Amino acid sequence: RGSSSRSEAKSGRADLIFLIRFRHCCLLRNQRCVLAYLYDRLLRIRALRWEYGSVLPNTIQFHMSAEEVEWFNRYKKSLATYMRSVGGEEGLDLTQDIKPPKSLYIEVRCLRDYGEFEIDDGTTILLKKNSQHFLPRWKCEQLIRQGVLEHILS
Amino acid sequence: QAWLNEKFAPELLESRPEVIECVVEQLDHMEANLKRAKRGDLKVSVHRMEIERIRYVLSSYLRCRLAKIEKFFPHILEKEKSRAEGEPSILSPEEFAFAKEYMANTETYLKDVALKHMPPNLQKVSLLKSVPKPNLDSFVFLRVLERQENILVEPEMDEHREYTIDLEEGSQHLIRYRTIAPLVASGAVQLI
């Protein structure tokens, strides 16, 4: 519709120029609004990768369009490639260590049944609901974010 | 130093691959040492803590850079495209690849979801114009490391005139980023 009004303008209907200009401004504004809305959604989806990890909970995926899921998959692949390229052989997981470390070991309570969990020196811990443990901080970060463990602050 | 500067600067600062490589090597070294150490050795805890702290600073630094890349991606890529031969790059090669992928990803998404359904003359959008630029006029705190003379301060408003100031070593200031940007790059001041 925009292009047809342009050809009308070329045919010399001077009185329509203002209307065409006005309509074009409206179209531009609509375009800006649409893009702003879509872009804002993308930014939120991006934040999800940093908060939840590479697998999104189903309830959230349900609210995403197919193209958004595709965008998310490409984003996390791009991020993974970058993280792998930094830091030694395995790369550096930038989604860990979000807060400065205060202590080595932390008290955690298990919020739901998770099963067995292995820590560095080879011992395995059984994570059952409501059990409390004193575990190395760096091992727990991922699970805390996923909601499996809860950091107990005394 | 690089970490603090990056954290407080409104724009993406120069890439420091040597620093990153050095830190990463240190971390690997320390991890290897720890693996060989005996269990229950007190030094292990202290070293572990150190490793955690270093890893945090490194992660925070790289995260900060990635966030800025994602925030200002069209401007950063444009800057990189128009960079002269001998000038140092703002992005590491991996960051450059990430930035390009991010741009392509977002452009494809917007095109497939919205732009291709719009009337023909609206199907292109200039991301360079739509995405906000870094605000170089934002104020930053800094500490002077090397004495500077005759720094020209541009007027903020038309009534003010430009004036020059001297920066004494060890003094701290609150100033517009734009005025001291080259000093951050050269290491003469430290953002705090």
The ipTM, to two decimals, is 0.76
Query: CATH number, domain at B166?
Result: 3.40.5.60
Is residue B122 situated within a structural domain?
A: no
Q: What is the pLDDT of residue B127?
A: 78
Beta-bridged to residue A125, according to DSSP, are A117
Please tell me the distance from the alpha carbon of residue B144 to that of residue A105, in angstroms, as a whole number.
39
CATH code for the part of the protein at A105-151: 3.40.5
Is residue B78 situated within a structural domain?
A: yes
Query: What value does the mean pLDDT of chain A take?
Result: 76
Query: CATH number, domain at B4?
Result: 1.20.58.1030
Per DSSP, the residues of A36-88 read: HHHHHHHHHHHHHHHHH-SS--HHHHHTS-HHHHHHHHHHHHHHHHHHHHSST
Instruction: Encode A72-109: b = buried (16+ Cβ within 10 Å), e = exposed.
Output: bebbbebbeebbeebbeeeebbbbebeeebeeeebbbe
Is residue B128 situated within a structural domain?
A: no
Structure tokens at A116: 């067995």
A116 sits in which H/E element: strand A115-118
Of B153, B138, B151, B137, nearest to B186 (Cα)?
B151
pTM of the entire structure? 0.76
A7, pLDDT greater than 60: no
Question: Domain ends where: B56, B83, B115?
Answer: B115
Structure tokens at B123: 């199907």
Please tell me the distance from the alpha carbon of residue B15 to that of residue B6, in angstroms, as a whole number.
10
**C-alpha dihedral (B43, B45, B49, B54), degrees to nearest 10:** 50
Q: What is the pLDDT of residue A68?
A: 86
Q: How far is CA B10 from CA A31, A79, B132, B152, in A?
A: 29, 22, 12, 20
Terminal-to-terminal C-alpha distance of chain A: 65
Q: Are B94 and A70 in contact (CB under 8 A)?
A: no
How far B113 CA sits from the closest chain A CA (Å)? Answer: 7
C-alpha A56 chain-centroid distance = 9
CB-nearest partner of A2 from B48, B114, B122: B122
Are B108 and B149 in a shared domain? Answer: no
Highest-confidence range of A9-13, B12-16, B64-68, B184-188, by mean pLDDT?
B64-68
Helices (H), B37-125: 42-71, 73-81, 93-113
| Residue B5: domain span | 1-115
**C-alpha dihedral (A146, A97, B134, B98), degrees to nearest 10:** -80
At B15-47, the pLDDT tens digits run 777 777 777 777 777 777 777 666 666 677 777
A40, pLDDT greater than 80: yes
Do the chains contact at A82 and B66, CB–CB below 8 Å? yes
At B119-137, the pLDDT tens digits run 777 777 777 777 888 777 8
Residues of A in contact with B114 (CB under 8 A): 31, 34-35, 38
Please tell me the distance from the alpha carbon of residue B28 to that of residue A150, in angstroms, as a whole number.
30
Q: Are A24 and A1 in contact (CB under 8 A)?
A: no
Identify residue B96 by its one-letter amino acid code.
Answer: F
> Predicted confidence band at A95 (pLDDT cuts at 50, 70, 90)?
low
A37, pLDDT greater than 80: yes
Of B5, B19, B7, nearest to B190 (Cα)?
B5
Please tell me the distance from the alpha carbon of residue B54 to that of residue B45, in angstroms, as a whole number.
14
| CATH T-level topology, domain A1-85 | Methane Monooxygenase Hydroxylase; Chain G, domain 1 (1.20.58)
How far A34 CA sits from the closest chain B CA (Å)? Answer: 8
Chain A interface, Cβ < 8 Å to B: 1-3, 6, 27-28, 31-32, 34-35, 38-39, 42, 46, 65, 67-68, 70-71, 74-75, 78-79, 81-82, 85-88, 92, 94, 96-101, 104, 121, 137-138
**β-strands B163-167, B148-153 pairing:** antiparallel
- Chain A contacts in chain B segment 54-73 (CB below 8 A): 55-56, 58-60, 62-63, 66, 70
Are B110 and B34 in a shared domain? Answer: yes
